A = this chain, B = another copy of it.
Amino acid sequence: MVPGVMQEHSQPEALSLYDRLLARGWRMTAQRRAVSRALDGEHLHLTADEVFARAQALLPEVSLATIYNTLNDLVAMGELREIAAARGPARYDPNMAPHHHLMCVDCGAIRDVDLAPADLDLRPEPGHGFELLAVDVTLRGRCPACADDA
């Protein structure tokens, strides 16, 4: 695969994070390449530490501070989103397509859920004068594995 070359017929969303960053002309470094590759994949909801571990596997000298810097930059650029669901360490999701999350209250496992956002966005009522920008939905429950244990 040739980085930076967009195929005419592919959906833009199909590009990897790394390719999207190149396409944007983002100043590329070994560290940023390691981070963006660490975030490659579907249904990923990694913490900064997990991204760090994956990035280190690709580039052992990378530092945690750089992981944080890069994650923050990506979020500010709109190429990554911070998941609202979790209380502890922040979790990051490279899938910018609209979707929501289902989180296990016992083990913290997160799955993607493709609820039609229309279910909620259609309601102009609850605005209270707010200009509505986004709707975050987090479903909470017990995953099959934890349900068995209980």
Residues of A near any B CB (own CB < 8 A): 82, 84-85, 87, 90, 102, 104-105, 111, 113-115, 119-120, 123, 126-144, 147
Q: Which residues of B contact A84 (CB under 8 A)?
A: 84-85, 87, 138
Taken together as a complex, chains A and B put the C-alpha atoms of A114 and B115 apart, in Å, by: 20
* Closest residue on chain B to residue A129 by CB atoms: B144
Q: Please state the number of chain copies in the assembly.
A: 2
Q: Which residues from chain B contact A139 at a C-beta distance below 8 Å? A: 120, 126, 130, 132, 134-136
Residues of B within 8 A of A120 (CB): 115, 119-120, 137, 139
In the complex, A134→B130 CA distance in Å? 25
- Out of B113, B119, B140, name the residue touching A133 (CB < 8 Å): B140
Check B140 against A137 for contact (C-beta < 8 Å).
no
Given contacts A85-B136, A134-B140, A135-B140, contact A113 B129 (CB under 8 A): no
Chain B positions within 8 Å of A141 at CB level? 127, 130-134
Complex CA–CA separation, A105 to B114 (angstroms): 24
